Each structure stands twice: as C-alpha cells, then as structure tokens.
Amino acid sequence: MNRIHSQDDWIARARAVLPAGGFGNFDPGVVIARGQGSRIWDEDGREYVDYLIGSGPMLLGHGHPEVLEAVLEQLPNGLTFFANNAKGIELAEAIVEAVPCCEQVRFVGSGGEADMYALRLARAYTGKSKILKFEGGYHGMSAEAQMSLAPSRQVNFPTPVPDSAGIPQGVADEMLIAPFNDLDAVAGLLDEHTDVAAIIVEPLQRIIPAQPGFLQGLRDLCDRHGLLLIFDEIVTGFRLAYGGAQERYGVVPDICTLGKIIGGGFPLAALGASAEIMAHFDKAIVGADKWLMQLGTLSGNPVAAAAGLKTMEILRRSQQYERLRQLGQTLMKMQSSALSDQGISHRICGDPTLFDVYFTTQHPTDYRNARHSHPRFGEVWNSALRGQGVFKSPGKMYPSLSLTTADLDQTEQAFLVAAQAVAQVSSTA
C-alpha cells in the first residue's frame, strides 16, 4: 500500500538530506507535486496560478501537449549520446536564424555555464584579462559572476564584493564593477583600464530596464576600446522578443548567452557569436595555445533540443509575443491599480514580459535604488499573494502564454487582498 506523504513530511525529509532543506533555488517550505498549463499544485494539493514558471523557461506553461509530443517522439530514439545528433543541429540552426549576433553556437548544460564560457571566450579572443560587470547583475554561479551580485555593503566603484565564500582574491583582481545605466562611469573605467576583455550585461538587469541609449552606448564604447560586448540573454532570449533583447532594443552584442526557453523545460543553454570569435572552440583553426576547451555530458542532448525546437516553433506563430505583452500589461495595470487605490507608493518595474513592484517613490535605475523603501511591504505583499493562490518569486513575475481569463481574475483579486494587507502594515509603519 502506497503511503501518501504530506508536504510537511517532504520538508522534514529534505532537511535531513539537503543543505538548508532545499535545492538552493527557492523557498524550501513549499514542495511542488505537479504542474499543468498555468497552474501548479503542492504536495498538500494547494493550487496556485504560477508566475514563477520554473524561473522562466516554461513560457508556454507546464506540459504543453505539442512539446510533450515532441519529447515522447524522441525518447524511444535515445536520451543522450555525447555526440552530435540531428535535433541538436536543428536547434543550433534555429537559434542562428533567430538571434542577430549568432553565426555559430556551442551548447552547454546551464545558463551559468554559458556565461562562464562567454567570459573565457572573450579573454581568449582579445588576449586581455579583466571583465567589467554591473553591480547587481546576475550571470550564474562562477567565481566572476559572484562578484557584486547582491552585495550587502556599499563600496566605491569599481571594487568588487564577493557574494560567496571560497573565491580567491585573484578573481576580484580581474573584475571591475560599475553601476548599471551609468555610461559615464563605464567610460571612465575603460579610459583607466586598458586590459578589459569584455563588458557583460543583462539587457534587462533582473527587472531594471536599460535607459534609452545605454545599451547602444556600451556597444559604442566596446568598439572604441577594442573589447567585446556580451549580452546575458539567459532570461531575455526568446522572451522579450523572438530574437531576444537584440531584436527588441536593436543593439547587437559580440557574444550572447541563451538558456531557459531554448530547452523547453529541460536543462540546456548555449553561447553564440560570429564564426570568427567562435573559432576559438576549434583547435584546427586557432591552434592549441588559443583553443578553448569545452565539454559537457548533456550538452545538446536530443530530448532538450526536441523540446526547445517545438517551443520555438510555437513562439514563431502569429501574435504570440503580442499576446504575451498584452497579458503582462494587464497584470502590471492590475498591480498598480490595486496599490494606488490603497494609497501605497510604488513603482512597477520591468518589461511586460518580466516585471514586479517596488514599494518606493524612486524610479529604479540600478542596484542601489531598486529596492523597497519599506522591505516589510514586499514581504507582506508576496505572502498575501501566495495565500491567495498566486505563486511567484520574491522579486519577479513571469507571465506565460498559458494564462487564462480565470487566472487573471484570480490574480486581480489576489492583488486587491495583498494591497489591503500592505495598507494595514503601512498604517502602523
């Protein structure tokens, strides 16, 4: 007889075998049992409208029937080969056709891995060592990426602050940190440091939009100083537009990284650039000294490639991105109306395809001012939303194309309840 375990049972079991009781990604106090379309259910059967969607990859929702069909068609033919396969080659072709900077791509297993290799590729191509990143920018879990990701103390730019133990000082010595949306600061750093290989940037930094001219300004500075511009499009790729931020904003980097959506819910990521830059993955072209070694057991595996190909095919259909943006705009207006009706100061920040609310009177432009004036308001807001069956990250809402009118109605009601909860806390603050 099978015993049905409660969520508390699973949480207790997790605490025994997992550090901090979880996978390190999300609140370990919730254990998800299943997902379907726009909805998920926890192990106690509680149902939620899902605005986390796996931290972004499930743009079509959970268990899309066409994606499942593509995966099931591939499964009997093999799960992975550690060798070239037709599905992976087809996916590479689709990415090259869609993404402006990509003439060639190399597959890896995760977005963080793609970012790590992008930095290494920039160093190999330029022969320079330093990397400039922006405070608060997220680029995975490599030592370089863990510099000034979420620093708890403010230091003078360009000094990096490590966000993790176990990172040697030598990594910090090769990193320059700048404030997002500040072209003058970047220009000053590049005038002072001649050994910069690349600037890496999220075109939409977490949910903070680049100000008009900022991304083109970075492009111009990189051209002027002979370094590479890397767009981390792990999140924005195939979300802001089919061609990602490059299509949306009209600025083409030298290298980009892609993940999440291109795997259709399976582990898969990639980096892409011109054939000239990507030649560093080919020893026969560049020689042993300039060759960049890259291996990955599951890189380009056919199951993930099949899921990604079908996802991208669906996204190419008429009006998909128009609908996604309309859904996001509706949700943004709902949020703002609920809070305005309660007299709560706030700013909706981001793009209709990815956004959230800050409880502040400031316009968020960088890591240091993109925060709640009263952190307790954010905690109450997110807690109240979950209590009303709306599941989201503490700092993001990911709309998906699976959202229904019933989902929007439930979410609107949840916003009203959450705004009232914030107003009650605000009255005593």
Q: Catalytic one among 87, 260, 310, 392?
A: 260
Under a CB-based contact definition with an 8 Å cutoff, are residues 24 and 48 in contact?
no
Q: Catalytic one among 48, 125, 138, 358?
A: 138
User: What distance in Å separates the CA atoms of residue 370 and residue 357, rounded to the nearest whole number?
Assistant: 10
Check if 409 is active-site.
no
Burial 120-153 (b: 16+ CB within 10 A, else e): bbbbbbbebebbbbbbbbbbbbbbbbbbbbebee
Check if 260 is active-site.
yes
Q: Catalytic one among 232, 254, 356, 366?
A: 232
User: What distance in Å separates the CA atoms of residue 300 and residue 4, rounded to the nearest whole number?
Assistant: 37
Enumerate the active-site residues. Answer: 138, 232, 260
